[in-house]
Structure 1
């Protein structure tokens, strides 16, 4: 839920803060200060929100940035935990800044979801049937790959194992991309990406399994080259495919992306890494 503090009443802001698990406040800096409406909203937050709620701050700061500094310091002094580093936008946000904001929001939401799961009661014995189903689904395996994409100044990558060849003519593949993945915004029809197929026993898997901060370069520390479609290729991969998204279908909590393979090459000898799971309820 989003609230425009210029239009919302104090009661509406208070009600939203009381119901939420976490909140993010954004503000411009006008004349060296936060707008009056933001200052009012901050006061409501400090008087209403439990200190256990996760928070975050973002905004534009022009030449000074006092509004962002005030929001951050007031919330920190009050004891709130931040879900991401405060995002300060100097002037007009560029594509990289917008991507950083999106990644921060995704991380923020995922933290709240994990916290909610930890508080949830353990499933009863009656849930054993669904557990058995999840175990059976988990026996479906796939090649372990790194999907990499670039659009302008924005570059991203994700580890993918829900990958399959989909067509012979034209050669095509499908990749399941979670809706909360930062790379999802780079997989619309017409977008291009590279599917880096990993070799068994290599360290590339560990590199892309780690958590990345919003806006952090996913490729620092790994050797890459640029594919003909402009996307990064992992030179340590077993092979790579240059793909163009032809279609995608909404499937529950994922997008099923179908892409035509425009180019590809085997880079190294080896065996394709395969991801084995014990349950179909997680990766």
Structure 2
């Protein structure tokens, strides 16, 4: 017998059909989102939030990039999460595939960040065990804040030097591999406690396997994709982590946005 089953009726309409109500609705929605996605006030360690978008059938990209899955609601949440974060964490493969530049925050978001004691724009922190990044890419040339490169002690010194010369802040967190514990310790040392991980699947998978994920924000775009695109997390090993839904939001176009928070650590 199935018991305690509930139909969820939580809907936020990000794109109202009535133009006169749009401005007021957009502002109230933005304020509500900042409250819904606020980081915990007190944590014992940096709080790792992961944000992904996927299709209904689980694809995380179309032709190799995730942008094609984006919707207006997903974009609004994406911008909200960046505004709230101390640092945007991403894997080197995703930086290359998505042609990452520096984070952007609008004027009002900058004002709110400064008022809360944060810098105007969060840095991008890239995990690359081998320091395999192009110092001439947008990550270094199209940014207001110098990126952080988290690498290993045995990375190629010439590559590390080239990235440092391009303006990167180099942080070592492990030998041979950047582990979840090493990464969190490195971010803690930098005073970066509100972490927003934007992928990719390998980094998400490693953080999951290392028991380092505190929260997952997952957008389901209202499309089917098929093809051979991968899932949101991949890793050689598996680890089951119990999560509970903090909220479930929907948009009029069918976008579903969920926030999952892990149950208390034993």
Given the two structures, how large is their TM-score scaled by the length of structure 2?
0.29
Q: Which has the higher strand share?
A: 1
Given the two structures, how large is their TM-score scaled by the length of structure 1?
0.28
Bigger RCO (CA 8 Å, 6+ sep): 2
Over alpha carbons, which structure has the higher Rg?
A: 1
